[in-house]
Amino acid sequence: MLEVKRETFGEWPLGGGTVEKFLLRSDTVKVEIISLGCIITSLETKDRDGKFSDIVLGFDHLEGYINKHPYFGAIIGRVANRIAKGKFVVEGHEYQLAINDGPNSLHGGVKGFDKAIWSPEVLPDGVRFFRISPDDEEGYPGELKVWISYTLKDGELTINYRAQTSKTTPVNLTNHAYFNLGGKGSSNIYDHEFTIEADSYLPLDETLIPTGKITPVQDTAFDLRKPKELGRHLQKFHLNGFDHNFCLAQRKEPHFCARAYHPPSGRMMEVYTTEPGVQFYTGNFLDGTLKGKGGHVYFKHSGFCLETQNWPNAVNQISNLHTYILLPQGMEG
């Protein structure tokens, strides 16, 4: 039986409004989401012995999410990932976005969707959030109405994205939860096994922008079509970690794209999507400066992200525009 509870999480400073928290609970999963950035602040699942533990990185209190952090659990928009030099051309007009990641624009800019308070609506099986991104917010054209819903059925959490715009504009929404299946306080993810059902990936330049090539994973470190234990795999290929887009077969119905398995606890997570890519990120930029839940310090490789989305910088790659540009009054799910 599913339970949905609503309560206050905290007050935004300087009269910015109340941040609410929503608890979705089934027999096997407990999820907490707040109206600030539609952030997943907690996701508890059972291990093989039936013991619950929180498997997402984050903070115990609102203050942690107000301060600077690496998008823990948040909805990302208008455009997830990087846009080269923060520029793109739509219908003959060049737009300049806010630059916040070296020479590039990352995750919607200086004040992306992760930093906004959304309007919530309780559903029978979850919660739906809504906000209006005004024309020219962070440099993007058009007024964009966005709905994000989280629904829970047994052990399956579904995130649905819908958007409607007044002008042709790029939009690429995702969730940026960091997972560690070992549970709260686990120091790294080296003992996790990862599988990604992708035959190709996008190589990156020195600023983490795709080079434009689509490269087969065969005989490379990016061949994760069979399970690989992360620690051994990084050592074998002398990798700093992953922060790459894996190219998926795009379908109208959600299909399997990735799996993470933690042998010591028995926890397993599978990801299904309709999107053409999944960004696999292994927390390479976590550096021990953040204290999270229970005072635990988040070091490099403390968590992983599997961000289903369109390909990074797709707005500047003609071949992929058809899945990326949102036409006026269009919708994307």
204-241 residue pLDDT tens: 999 999 999 999 999 999 999 999 999 999 999 999 99
User: Has 249 been labeled as part of a binding site?
Assistant: no
pLDDT of residue 323: 43
Which residue, chain included where needed, has tokens 């070992």?
182
Q: Is 156 a catalytic residue?
A: no
Given a cut of 50, is residue 330 above it in pLDDT?
Answer: no
Q: What's the mean per-residue pLDDT of the chain?
A: 94
pLDDT of residue 326: 54
> Using 50, 70 and 90 to split pLDDT, how confident is the model at 1?
confident
pLDDT of residue 61: 96
Contact (Cβ atoms closer than 8 angstroms) between residue 304 and residue 180: yes
What is the full DSSP assignment across 100-120?
-BTTBEETTSTT-GGGSBPEE
Given a cut of 90, is residue 327 above it in pLDDT?
Answer: no
pTM (global) more than 0.85: yes
Q: Tell me which of 107, 176, 244, 262 is the catalytic residue.
A: 176
- Residues in Cβ contact with 169 at an 8 Å cutoff, skipping those fewer than 6 apart: 78, 90, 140, 141, 142, 144, 325, 326
21-38 residue pLDDT tens: 999 999 999 999 999 999
User: Has 176 been labeled as part of a binding site?
Assistant: yes
Q: What is the mean pLDDT of residues 167-171?
A: 95
Q: What is the mean pLDDT of residues 157-186?
A: 97
**Prior bond to 78 cis, omega within 30?**
yes
Q: What is the mean pLDDT of residues 275-286?
A: 97
User: Has 71 been labeled as part of a binding site?
Assistant: no
Q: Is 176 a catalytic residue?
A: yes
Q: Tell me which of 137, 138, 307, 332 is the catalytic residue.
A: 307
- Residues in Cβ contact with 93 at an 8 Å cutoff, skipping those fewer than 6 apart: 141
pLDDT of residue 332: 39
pLDDT of residue 274: 96
User: Has 233 been labeled as part of a binding site?
Assistant: no
